[in-house]
């Protein structure tokens, strides 16, 4: 038996305690059988005392259960290439298979008579094994709820996770997360399991707060002047979200109140009263910041104590509302709020699941904080929509953009959540105009309509769930979310199994000349394809099209707030849309070629003539797909960061855009025009040329990663 210290004493001790408890043996009884004191066994189980291999053998012998046998098997495994998984990792056996085949591949690579081309195939297999194993090793997953403001995301989350408190006068249970008609939550909220009930706050930086207060000052000092910037500006009414405004008012003591004057109710606004004293913007900002007393707001967490005189969830609801609204004297403006609860969010599981309540979509769905979730292999994206307009324009837009950008996890990691209000399902009519008789029938008919609407995107089979938070059993939604997480892991499991199987066959067959001849024939065909597709088609579309489109769609005040921040705001990010534009250009140029190569590999693999080359063909398909996905991510990063640096230095652009505010209707169009003019400057054209060159280089590298698998396996000049 190997030294158990390789595992780690704390992990080992905890697992020993679990096995003992599952066997129904008390700590005192096991200590008696071992002729140990109970105190010594307690220290072993807590990880405070190390245990020798001989002692561990005796403990497992006394326990003598399937769990003990399993533990003995697991800790004997010596990991040298892949990281060691936790003892209770559900994919331990599969990862061990990958570790063993990785060792064999590494050993063969060291042989002096291995040809260069074959060595490159071995190295490619090792890279695939390590990358895919890393996806399975990570047991932390996220479920991100995305939808419009007021759609009911927060209520659905709380109902699903059991975070509700009794309603007033026996009414509907109230969610712990503050909910309303929209514009309630000040920032992204994360829910996770932990040791006790509490809140952890990630604060906004001082510069961020100062900029928010500056926006607030402009809104107060200019009054409704912003409504002249466009016909829709008054819908938002300000260059600052109402959640932020509410928090700043509460923190600075500038609330709106009603007073009785001469027997009449008069509305007073503390902020406007302050503006009459400090009409200068800079002075007003300084006064508000001073009143907020940021130097005292340095607390970052708060936890429930059993001694409190109220139930834990009631306390949690009150604390969340105080922090979210800027009413707690110890906390500053939050950038993110973490809600910690001492229970699993989706039921018992060995996975760590975090649920994210994203900021609601208000006009602009194409946001960096939302789209990042769609490209994360460990995040399940729940796109929320109302019932009557399902699928709503916002989730549909996000799906379209993800597909345009070549995001391949959409079909496996996204689901559409329809949130009907009471009676909406029963109002559905069939083709003959007759109303449905049951809610289930209403859901079924609406599901057919949604599938038809998503068919043009190729997403007619996108998983779909209906959940009326006031009436439906939350277990149905919990099951859907758990299934999506499991499905995402199954994809990685299947991929790793395929790689392990292919690698083993490679190891078994690499010396057989007949096999090598078939591989050479298949290689020639793949090489011919690569040669014909080495040059990328001229990219279509405009790099800045997404940015200009979103400038035109956003509220005028949102564009104003973004201009003030030199193009970077949570609601509208210039660099995000330029990164998306770059990625979309690459996907439109290369996506069809990657699909064609995959089809060629699958066609050849199904041909009995190339049976012995099947593993090479499957590997080539995988390698190009992986290289292509990496290419898209690199291009997106290049588009984001290269232009972000240029935009940061574009003082003339921001000055031009700033001067347009207050010049009447058409503000967004003028900002879009200035932005387009900036892109036509030589320095920006040079950046675009560099981006195109990068796409070409990365495509050549992706093709090289494929030809490296068989280069030299075929006659010269083939």
The CATH number given to whatever domain includes residue 2 is: 1.10.260.40
Rounded to whole angstroms, the Cα distance separating 11 from 17 reads 10
The 3 state secondary structure assigned to 631-669 is HHHHHHHHHHHHHHHHHHCCHHHHHHHHHHCCCCCCHHH
**Where are the alpha helices (H) located in 361-469, listed in sequence order?**
368-374, 393-404, 410-413, 439-454
Domain membership flag for residue 280: yes
Rounded to whole angstroms, the Cα distance separating 506 from 122 reads 9
Which residues fall within 8 angstroms of residue 312, CB to CB, at 6 or more apart? 197, 304
Domain membership flag for residue 107: no
Rounded to whole angstroms, the Cα distance separating 108 from 504 reads 12
Q: Are strands 188-193 and 464-466 parallel, antiparallel or unpaired?
A: unpaired
Query: Hey, which residues does 175 pair with through a beta bridge?
Result: 164
Domain membership flag for residue 310: yes
Among the listed residues 327, 331, 184, the one whose alpha carbon sits nearest the alpha carbon of residue 253:
327
Residues 336 and 351 occupy one common structural domain: no
Rounded to whole angstroms, the Cα distance separating 29 from 16 reads 14
Residues 559 and 688 occupy one common structural domain: yes
Rounded to whole angstroms, the Cα distance separating 86 from 89 reads 5
Give the gyration radius of the chain's Cα atoms. 30
> How is residue 446 written in tokens?
């609406």
Q: Are strands 464-466 and 414-419 parallel, antiparallel or unpaired?
A: parallel
Residues 451 and 530 occupy one common structural domain: no
Any idea what the Cα angle at residue 279 is, between residues 273 and 280, rounded to 5°?
A: 145
Any idea what the Cα angle at residue 573 is, between residues 572 and 579, rounded to 5°?
A: 135
Q: What percent of the chain has pLDDT over 90?
A: 67
Residues 362 and 447 occupy one common structural domain: yes
pLDDT digit string (tens) for 568-619? Answer: 988 899 999 999 999 999 999 999 999 999 999 999 999 999 888 899 999 9
Q: What percent of the chain has pLDDT over 70?
A: 95
Residues 482 and 555 occupy one common structural domain: no
- Cβ distance 125 to 136 under 8 Å? no
Which residues fall within 8 angstroms of residue 237, CB to CB, at 6 or more apart? 219, 224, 226, 227, 557
**Domain boundary pick from 341, 369, 401:** 341
> How is residue 537 written in tokens?
């088609």
Residues 227 and 374 occupy one common structural domain: no
- Cβ distance 644 to 708 under 8 Å? no
pLDDT digit string (tens) for 514-559? Answer: 677 788 888 899 999 999 999 888 777 788 999 999 999 998 888 9
Q: Over the chain, what is the mean pLDDT?
A: 89
Residues 455 and 594 occupy one common structural domain: no
Residues 276 and 400 occupy one common structural domain: no
pLDDT digit string (tens) for 438-488? Answer: 999 999 999 999 999 999 999 999 999 999 988 899 999 999 999 999 999
Residues 373 and 470 occupy one common structural domain: yes
Half-sphere exposure of 126 (CA within 13 A, CB side): 17
Rounded to whole angstroms, the Cα distance separating 24 from 37 reads 19
The DSSP symbol for 540 reads P
Predicted TM-score of the model (pTM): 0.90
Alpha carbon 4 to chain centroid distance? 36
**Domain boundary pick from 76, 105, 131:** 76
Q: Cα separations (Å) of 349 from 140, 141, 340, 346, 512?
A: 11, 12, 17, 8, 46
Residue range(s) defining the domain that contains residue 525: 511-707
Q: Is residue 91's pLDDT more than 90?
A: yes
Residues 419 and 532 occupy one common structural domain: no
């Amino acid at each position: 038996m190997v030294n158990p210290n390789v595992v780690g004493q704390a992990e080992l001790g905890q697992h020993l305690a679990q096995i003992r408890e599952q066997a129904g043996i008390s700590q005192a009884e096991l200590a008696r059988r071992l002729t140990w004191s109970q105190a010594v066994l307690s220290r072993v189980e807590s990880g405070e005392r190390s245990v020798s291999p001989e002692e561990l053998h005796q403990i497992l012998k006394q326990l003598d259960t399937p769990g003990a046998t399993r533990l003995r098997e697991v800790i004997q495994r010596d990991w040298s290439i892949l990281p060691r998984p936790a003892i209770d990792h559900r994919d331990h056996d599969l990862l061990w298979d990958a570790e063993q085949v990785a060792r064999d591949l590494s050993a063969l690579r060291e042989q002096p008579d291995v040809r260069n081309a074959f060595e490159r195939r071995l190295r490619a297999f090792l890279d695939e094994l390590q990358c895919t194993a890393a996806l399975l090793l990570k047991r932390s997953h996220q479920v991100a709820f995305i939808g419009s403001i007021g759609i009911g995301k927060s209520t659905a989350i709380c109902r699903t996770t059991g975070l509700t408190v009794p309603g007033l006068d026996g009414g509907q249970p109230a969610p712990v997360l503050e909910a309303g008609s929209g514009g309630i939550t000040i920032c992204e909220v994360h829910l996770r399991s932990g040791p006790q009930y509490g809140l952890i706050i990630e604060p906004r930086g001082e510069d961020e707060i100062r900029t928010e207060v500056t926006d607030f000052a402009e809104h107060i000092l200019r009054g409704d002047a912003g409504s002249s910037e466009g016909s829709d500006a008054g819908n938002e009414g300000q260059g600052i979200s109402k959640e932020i405004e509410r928090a700043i008012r509460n923190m600075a003591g500038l609330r709106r109140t009603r007073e009785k004057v001469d027997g009449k109710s008069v509305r007073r606004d503390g902020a406007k009263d302050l503006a009459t004293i400090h009409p200068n913007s800079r002075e007003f900002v300084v006064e508000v910041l001073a009143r907020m007393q940021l130097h005292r707001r340095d607390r970052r967490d708060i936890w429930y104590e059993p001694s409190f005189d109220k139930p834990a969830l009631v306390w949690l609801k009150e604390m969340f509302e105080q922090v979210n609204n800027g009413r707690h004297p110890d906390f500053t403006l939050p950038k993110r709020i973490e809600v910690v609860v001492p229970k699993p969010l989706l039921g018992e599981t060995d996975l760590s699941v975090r649920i994210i309540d994203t900021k609601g979509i208000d006009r602009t769905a194409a946001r960096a904080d939302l789209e990042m979730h769609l490209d994360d292999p460990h995040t399940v994206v729940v796109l929320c929509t109302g019932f009557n307009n399902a699928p709503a324009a916002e989730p549909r837009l996000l799906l379209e953009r993800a597909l345009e950008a070549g995001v391949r996890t959409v079909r496996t990691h996204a689901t559409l959540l329809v949130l009907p209000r009471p009676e909406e399902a029963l109002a559905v009519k069939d083709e003959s105009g007759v109303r449905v008789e049951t809610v289930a029938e209403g859901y079924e008919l609406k599901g057919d309509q949604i599938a038809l609407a998503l068919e043009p995107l190729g997403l007619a089979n996108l998983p779909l769930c209906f959940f009326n938070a006031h009436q439906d059993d939350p277990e149905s939604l919990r099951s859907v979310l758990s299934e999506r997480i499991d499905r995402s892991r199954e994809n990685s499991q299947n991929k790793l199994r395929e790689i392990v199987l292919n690698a083993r066959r490679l190891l078994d067959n690499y010396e057989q000349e007949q096999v090598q001849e078939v591989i050479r024939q298949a290689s020639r065909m793949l090489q011919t394809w690569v040669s014909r597709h080495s040059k990328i088609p001229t990219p279509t579309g405009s790099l800045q099209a997404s940015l200009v489109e979103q400038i035109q769609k956003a509220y005028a005040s949102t564009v104003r707030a973004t201009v003030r921040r030199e193009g970077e705001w949570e609601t509208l990010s210039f660099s995000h849309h330029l990164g998306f534009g770059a990625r979309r250009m690459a996907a439109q140029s290369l996506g069809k070629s990657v699909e064609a190569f995959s089809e060629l590999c699958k066609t050849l693999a199904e041909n009995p003539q190339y049976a012995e080359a099947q593993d090479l063909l499957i590997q080539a398909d995988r390698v190009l797909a992986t290289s292509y996905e990496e290419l898209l991510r690199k291009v997106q990063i290049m588009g984001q960061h290269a232009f972000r640096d240029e935009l940061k230095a574009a003082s003339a652009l921001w000055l031009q855009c700033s001067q347009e505010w207050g010049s009447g209707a058409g503000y967004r169009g003028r900002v879009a025009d200035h932005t387009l003019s900036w892109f036509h400057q030589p320095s920006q054209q040079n950046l675009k040329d560099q981006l195109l060159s990068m796409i070409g280089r990365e495509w050549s590298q992706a093709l090289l990663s494929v030809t490296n698998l068989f280069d030299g396996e075929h006659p010269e000049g083939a």
